C-alpha cells in the first residue's frame, strides 16, 4: 500500500518532494478527522477535543508527517482508525478489510486486534464480535511471520537477525525506551531523529519494565467503560509491536508513537477534561508551536542532522549523516571526531573516502576506502568504493575487477553495476533485484 502511494506520487510529480509531503500532510489530516469521529460516542465533548488536539499537534507526530518514508506509519494509522470507526458503527467485516489494508501498509499495527479485544472487555460484550477479531488475529500473525522471513532474507534490513542486537537485549532496552516516550509525552522535549539509546544493564532494564507495569496496574483501576486507564493501556498495546521482543537496529524512534498516540491522546483528554479552556487551549497551542519547531528542524538535511549531533554527541551515525550535507573541510573534521569515538567503524572510513573522492583527491580516497575494506572485507559497497577510487586514478582493470567482485558479493549492488555500465561493460541485473525508478533510469541511459 505504501509503495503504491509512492508510485502514484512518482507518476504525478516525478521526484518533486512537494507532492510527497502534501500526501503525508493529507493523510495526517484524514487521521485527525477519523479520530474525531471514532471518539464521538465514547468521550465527552471537551475530552474529545483535547484528545484529538493532542493527537494532531503533539511533537511526537511531527517526524511521521515530515519524514516522507514514514508514510507507512501514517497510512497504517489512517486505516486502523477507519477500521475503528467501522467497528463502532457495527460494520465489523468492513473493519477487518480496513485492518488488512493497514497491515499491507506497515506491520507495526499488528496489535490493533488486541486493542479491539480490550475495547470489547471495557464496553458491552457481543459474541458476534469474536469471529471478526479472531480473523484479525490470524491476519496479524501472518503479517508477523512475513516480517520475520523478510527481515531474515533481505540484506541490510536492520531487523530481526540483522538488527545487530539480540531479542533479549532489545526487550531489556524497551522498558527504558517506553519510559522515555512517556516522559516526552508529558514533557515534550528531547525529540530527535536519532536518539542516543544504549542497551542497559539487566537491573536497569528490569526496573524500567517494572515501572511500566506499575503504571499499567494503576491504569486498570480506571479501565472499565473506556476510562482513562483503558486508553493508557491501549496506547501501550499499540506500541508493543515496535517496543517488545522483535529487534530493530533503531532501539527507539519518535515516529513509532504515531499510532499509540490514539490511546495516549484519549487518556490525556479524559484526565484533562475537568480543566478549563484557559488551561488546555494554551497547552494545545504550546504543542502546536513545538511541532512547528520540529518541522523547522526538518527543513533540510543539515539542520536535521546538526540537531541530532547536538542531542547525541557520543553517537557516530548522526555525525556520518551530517558529514554528507556540509562542506568538505567541515565534513572531514566531523568524521575525524567520529573516528575517535569508533576507530574500528568501517562506515566512517568509507564516508571520509567519499568526501576525498568528491574533492578530486583519489589517492586519499583510496587509502580510506582500503581501510574500510580491511575492517569489513565482505561488504560489497566497500569493494565498489575502492574500485571507484582506482578508476579515478585511471587504473581501469583493477577498478573493473573490484566492481565485478562487488557484484559477486551482492548481485544487486547498484553502484557497482552502474560503474561497470559507465565503463562500457554489460552487466544485466538478476531478476530478483529491486531498484528504484530513479536507479532504473540511470541503468537504462
Distance CA(123)–CA(41), nearest Å, equals: 12
Identify the pLDDT of residue 124: 66
For residue 336, give the C-alpha cell: 575525524
pLDDT tens-digit readout, 281-290: 889 999 999 9
Residues listed for the chain: 445
Closest-CA residue to 406 (of 393, 425, 128): 425
Please tell me the distance from the alpha carbon of residue 92 to that of residue 114, in angstroms, as a whole number.
Answer: 15
Task: Look at residues 417, 407, 366, 373 and name the one whose alpha carbon lies nearest to residue 390.
Answer: 366
- Locate 431 and state its grid cell: 531478476
Q: What is the pLDDT of residue 41?
A: 86
Q: What is the pLDDT of residue 155?
A: 65
How do the domains of the chain map onto residue ranges? 2-299, 344-444
Indicate the pTM of the whole model: 0.88
| Sites in the chain below the pLDDT cut of 50 | none
Q: Give the closest residue to 216 by CA, choosing from 236, 199, 202.
A: 236
The CATH T-level fold of domain 344-444 is: 1.25.40
Amino acid at each position: 500500500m505504501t509503495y503504491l502511494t509512492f508510485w502514484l506520487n512518482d507518476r504525478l510529480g516525478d521526484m518533486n518532494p512537494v507532492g510527497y509531503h502534501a500526501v503525508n500532510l493529507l493523510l495526517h489530516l484524514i487521521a485527525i478527522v477519523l479520530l474525531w469521529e471514532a471518539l464521538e460516542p465514547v468521550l465527552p465533548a471537551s475530552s474529545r477535543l483535547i484528545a484529538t488536539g493532542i493527537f494532531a499537534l503533539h511533537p511526537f507526530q511531527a517526524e511521521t508527517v515530515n519524514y516522507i518514508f514514514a508514510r507507512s506509519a501514517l497510512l497504517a494509522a489512517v486505516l486502523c482508525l477507519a477500521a475503528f470507526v467501522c467497528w463502532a458503527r457495527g460494520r465489523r467485516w468492513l473493519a477487518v478489510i480496513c485492518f488488512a489494508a493497514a497491515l499491507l501498509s506497515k506491520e507495526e499495527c499488528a496489535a490493533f486486534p488486541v486493542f479491539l479485544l480490550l475495547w470489547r472487555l471495557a464496553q458491552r460484550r457481543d459474541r458476534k464480535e469474536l469471529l471478526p477479531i479472531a480473523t484479525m488475529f490470524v491476519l496479524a500473525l501472518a503479517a508477523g511471520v512475513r516480517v520475520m522471513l523478510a527481515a531474515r532474507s533481505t540484506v541490510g534490513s536492520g531487523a530481526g537477525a540483522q538488527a545487530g542486537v539480540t531479542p533479549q537485549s532489545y526487550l531489556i532496552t524497551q522498558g527504558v525506551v517506553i519510559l522515555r516516550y512517556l516522559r516526552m509525552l508529558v514533557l515534550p522535549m528531547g525529540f530527535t531523529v536519532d536518539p542516543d539509546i544504549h542497551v542497559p544493564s539487566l537491573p536497569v532494564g528490569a526496573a524500567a519494565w517494572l515501572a511500566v507495569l506499575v503504571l499499567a496496574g494503576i491504569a486498570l483501576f480506571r479501565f472499565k467503560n473506556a476510562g482513562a486507564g483503558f486508553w493508557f493501556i491501549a496506547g501501550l498495546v499499540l506500541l508493543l509491536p515496535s517496543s517488545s521482543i522483535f529487534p530493530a537496529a533503531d532501539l527507539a524512534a519518535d515516529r513509532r508513537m504515531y499510532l499509540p498516540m490514539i490511546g495516549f491522546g484519549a487518556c490525556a483528554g479524559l484526565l484533562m477534561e475537568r480543566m478549563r479552556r484557559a488551561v488546555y487551549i494554551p497547552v494545545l497551542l504550546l504543542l502546536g508551536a513545538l511541532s512547528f519547531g520540529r518541522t523547522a528542524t526538518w527543513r533540510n538535511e543539515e539542520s536535521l542532522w546538526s540537531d541530532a549531533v547536538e542531542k547525541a554527541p557520543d553517537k557516530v551515525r548522526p555525525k556520518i549523516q551530517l558529514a554528507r550535507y556540509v562542506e568538505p573541510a567541515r565534513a572531514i573534521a566531523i568524521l575525524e571526531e567520529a573516528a575517535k569515538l569508533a576507530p574500528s567503524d568501517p562506515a566512517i572510513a568509507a564516508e571520509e573516502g567519499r568526501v576525498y573522492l568528491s574533492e578530486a583527491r583519489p589517492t586519499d580516497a583510496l587509502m580510506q576506502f582500503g581501510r574500510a575494506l580491511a575492517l569489513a572485507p565482505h561488504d560489497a559497497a566497500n569493494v565498489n568504493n575502492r574500485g571507484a577510487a582506482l578508476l579515478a586514478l585511471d587504473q581501469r582493470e583493477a577498478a573493473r575487477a573490484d566492481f565485478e567482485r562487488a557484484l559477486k558479493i551482492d548481485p544487486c549492488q547498484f553502484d557497482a553495476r552502474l560503474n561497470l555500465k559507465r565503463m562500457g561493460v554489460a552487466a544485466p541485473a538478476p531478476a530478483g533485484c529491486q531498484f528504484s525508478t530513479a536507479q532504473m533510469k540511470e541503468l537504462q541511459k
